[in-house]
Structure 1
Amino acid sequence: MNKLLKLFLVLLACWPLAGTPQAVSPLTLEEVLDAALRAFPGLLAAEQRKEAAAGDYQTAQGGFDTLLKIQNRWSVRGVYENQNYDVNLEQPTVFGGTTFFGGWRRGTGDYPVYEGKSLTAEDGEVRIGVTIPLWRNREIDRRRASLQQAELGQLIAGHEYDQALLEVRRLATHRYWDWVLAGQRLRIAERLLEIAERRNEGILERVRAGDIPEFEALDNRRAIIERRERKVAAQRLVEQSAIQLSLYLRGTDGEPLLPSGNELPSAFPEQEPSVNVNFDETVQTAHRQRPELKRIGLQSRQTEIERDLQNDQKSPGIDLSVVGAQDIGQSPDKTNRDELYVGLNFDIPLQRRIAGGRAQAVAANLQRLKWERRLLEDRIAAEVKDVLSAIAAARQRLALGKDQQRAAGQLEEGEQSRFDLGDSTLLIVNLREMAHGDAALAAAEAAGVLFKAHADYQAVLGNEIAHPAN
């Protein structure tokens, strides 16, 4: 019994008490990006473009659907009483614009002599035939052009989604580092306030002892009030950046999640992602991977298909048709008919203004896309140059900021020692402390700029955002 009681007491001691605060892991960039890619509304909207493009492709496929036509006609009043039933199936194909067709018809009753062909055998007449374009619509027609363009449209929608994905990753990363920087600013403000509050009692004791004038105590109270104001402002920035970050940090239900202060990382990562500083290689990579360039290339291909179609439509239409027909059952004249027809149809637009005008518009659009591609390539090259410059400058700023922070920290410690010995004033000590805080903030801002520049670098190249270890 004693052993069981001891075991129970040990388990009770290990069991966490209700209301005991649990350790919260820092929020990582990977968690933010995963949440954004899962539930960010702008990205979900971009994904619907792919669904719409898939619907357009299915619509284009519908141009090759089998067409069923049924016609019924009854003579309800007149000299001749007859009935006509006609069922026709038509199947367009992608093979040279060829269309197959077949059907069944039945005509009964009395017909005038000039409509004698409408009369069929008792079980009707079956027919089958084919129409083959010999010139216009042979290499390309509207059905095939629409299908090819819709297929390219699906790829375009995919690249538009990739472009939105890159932008969401970039903006989510920016908002994350803004939040981390706001946390650093708050910690610096809290440290400065804690220093002023901690030494206040010592200063009052020295004033009471006559070691320093009462003016120094008043100056310290002023410093405390000023630093409290800085802390309030820093806390506001943390809350503001957390609200902006919550647009990308979303729960499983898709609703924004507001990160708490306990989830703030303690500092920026020490190790930054690697970059290729070779300008020419980086530009080539960006030109190869950027979804905007891929999209323009596919749009140009769509336009070229339309150009080929309109050039084809300028040509004469010459169609070869072959039709065979056979009666089923006993015919009224006791003979069954087996028929074979061969036809050649001509369709020649004399002015050709429709196809000519469309071809002119398509040629202009093709030239427009060419210049837009040129502008985009130049813009990408400028973006690469700018982001490489930003990374290099941020690295230098960060190195100088850390050196300045170390020097300011040493001066702060030295000035505090001098004040303790009576060789300095509180005004100088406050200036040293504020200079140390400003140097620490400058170093943190440089780190924030550096990691945001790396996010821009990945977006400029068309890569996924690199995740540094937190």
Structure 2
Amino acid sequence: MIYGSMLLVLSLCYPSAVFAASQELEDPVQRTGPAALPWETIELKDSKNVADLPLILKSIETHFPLTRIAEKQIEIAEGREMAARGSFDFRLQLQAGFLAETYDQKILDGSLIKQIPGTPLEIYGGWRQGRGNFRPYEGKSLTGAEGEYRGGFKIPLLRDFLSDPARTRASTSKLLLASEKENVKFRILDIKRIASDRYWEWIGSYFKLEATFKLYGLAGERLSQIKKRVKAGGAALIEVVEVERMIAQRKAQLIEAERLYQKSALELALYYRDESGNPQTSMSIRNGFELGATISDETPVSENKTAITEQALAMRGDIGALEKQEEAANIEMELSKNQTLPKLDAQLEYAFDKGLPKDGEKELRGMLTLTFPLENRESRGNLMAAQARMEQVRLTKNYLNDQVKQDILNLRSALSASHNRAKILLLDRTLSEKLALAERQKFQNGHSSLLFVNLREQTANDSAIKAMDAVVEFQKIKVVYQVSRGLDPI
């Protein structure tokens, strides 16, 4: 009130000072678009690089660094899976020895050993040559001149028969590779969710900037009209001051909107990459794109909720990963159970010599070996840990299943509510714009006051921004809904 009285006195006593002050502020009518951005390469409409959501998602698949990092996890798992299969590789064992002085001996021994993949059976073949003087009780070390040839197999009958470390590593590494692929798929989907959020925030900030600039431009038109009225004697000079105050206020709003647009554009550019993998430095909205048009009259949750939930449980990569981990944990638990048994191994070997002094001698050897750990704490401890791990994975998977089901229900409700809210606020925006237009026409005809037309315009702008926020919120919820179902957010 005091401020208004001071302005009135100022306008009556020093009209030239008030009018001069009005010249110092920028005339919004002279502006043809939003203020130039500090980052000149980020453009609104002039860029040929249109940032559509499908292009952004494609960029994430091909050029986004975090996608490449996630995919490296698959390569790590592939390396581990290959290493696990190495347990079934051929193994070559070579041994050489000699004894000098009283008994001059030379022994050469070589074996080729392999465990048959997927079985406990180990086969081997070998050659041995023993020459020199041997003690009477070491006669078995002496071979024919051309050596002894042997072949045989070894098989566990209790421990390691149904499950052994080599087969367990091979099976679990294959499952963990499949689990990692599912995890990476879901991680990339979550990256796309974040990028889609950034995209809709950028879209919303652009239209907010456009609406704020439009409001700022109207203030410029108002200033021109009031100046003409003042010159014609149809309005008090104080009204010029009021319009200048309104211009300053709207200019502050415009600066805030420009900053919001800059921020959202830079955040989106982090996800939208060029062919070289660098953030885009120039992007614009597709011509003719209208934010309100993305809201259709159809209900967004018409699908059967049971079918949607089942689809989500089948499509979600994180659930698929846990299922593979559960299988791997079960295999490890079976190994731990098997390792509590005594170790009883059977071995059968056939050998023959060539060359003197044992030419043609043949042997068929059989052996049983029993190893029985008395305390067996290692095996029992491993079994305890494996059972706990199995239960941990099972509980995690069950909880995630419950969470997905509840998320689907919650998001369906949120999607429906946000859709209805957006439609109502879009209608409110349309009605507010009509009222503002009518009030401006009344003002131009001299049937309204500056106060009322300003209020109508500000209300229309507020309604437009609320409507845009509602549409963006709907689109962001829709993105989360799609990702929760294991689908691309588009």
User: What is the TM-score with the length of structure 1 in the denominator?
Assistant: 0.90
Alignment of 1:180-219 (within 5 A): 180-219=203-242
Q: Deviations over 1:28-81 (max 9, x none)?
A: 111111111112121111111111111111011000010001111122x43111
Q: Would you say the 8 A contact 1:86–1:103 is kept in 2?
A: yes
Secondary structure, counterpart of 1:431 in structure 2 = helix
Q: Structure 1 stretch 170-179 or stretch 274-283: which is displaced more?
A: 274-283
Q: Who is 1:37 aligned against?
A: 61
Shift of 1:205: 0.8
Alignment of 1:244-393 (within 5 A): 244-261=267-284, 266-268=289-291, 270-271=293-294, 274-331=300-357, 335-393=359-417
Counterpart-to-counterpart distance in 1, 2:471 and 2:182: 32
Shift of 1:22: 7.3
> Which letter does structure 2 place at the counterpart of 1:311?
K
Query: Percent identical across equivalent pairs?
Result: 28
Is 1:243 matched up with 2:269?
no
Shift of 1:267: 2.5
Among 431, 442, 452, which residue is 2:466 paired with? 442
Q: 1:257 to 1:125 in 2, by over 3 A?
A: same
Among 234, 243, 248, which residue is 1:220 paired with? 243
Shift of 1:258: 2.9
Q: Deviations over 1:146-180 (max 9, x none)?
A: 10001101100101111101101111111000000
Shift of 1:449: 0.7
Q: Who is 2:10 aligned against?
A: none
Q: Would you say the 8 A contact 2:271–2:279 is kept in 1?
A: yes
Among 97, 104, 120, which residue is 2:127 paired with? 104
Is 1:424 matched up with 2:424?
no
Q: Would you say the 8 A contact 1:96–1:132 is kept in 2?
A: no
Q: Structure 1 stretch 288-297 or stretch 62-71: which is displaced more?
A: 288-297
Q: Who is 1:15 aligned against?
A: none
Alignment of 1:145-156 (within 5 A): 145-156=168-179
Q: Who is 2:477 aligned against?
A: 453
| Misfit runs of 4+, over 6 Å | 262-265
Q: Who is 1:463 aligned against?
A: 487
Structure 2 unpaired stretches of 5+: 1-44
Is 1:134 matched up with 2:157?
yes
Q: Who is 1:410 aligned against?
A: 434
Q: Would you say the 8 A contact 1:327–1:336 is kept in 2?
A: yes
> Which letter does structure 2 place at the counterpart of 1:217?
V
Shift of 1:371: 1.7
Counterpart-to-counterpart distance in 2, 1:269 and 1:81: 99
Structure 1 unpaired stretches of 5+: 1-20
Secondary structure, counterpart of 1:270 in structure 2 = helix
Q: Would you say the 8 A contact 2:150–2:351 is kept in 1?
A: yes
Counterpart-to-counterpart distance in 1, 2:259 and 2:134: 94
User: What is the TM-score with the length of structure 2 in the denominator?
Assistant: 0.87
Q: What is the Cα-based RMSD across aligned positions, in Å? A: 1.9
Shift of 1:349: 2.3
Q: Who is 1:11 aligned against?
A: none
Q: 1:272 to 1:136 in 2, by over 3 A?
A: farther
Secondary structure, counterpart of 1:85 in structure 2 = strand
Q: 1:266 to 1:386 in 2, by over 3 A?
A: same
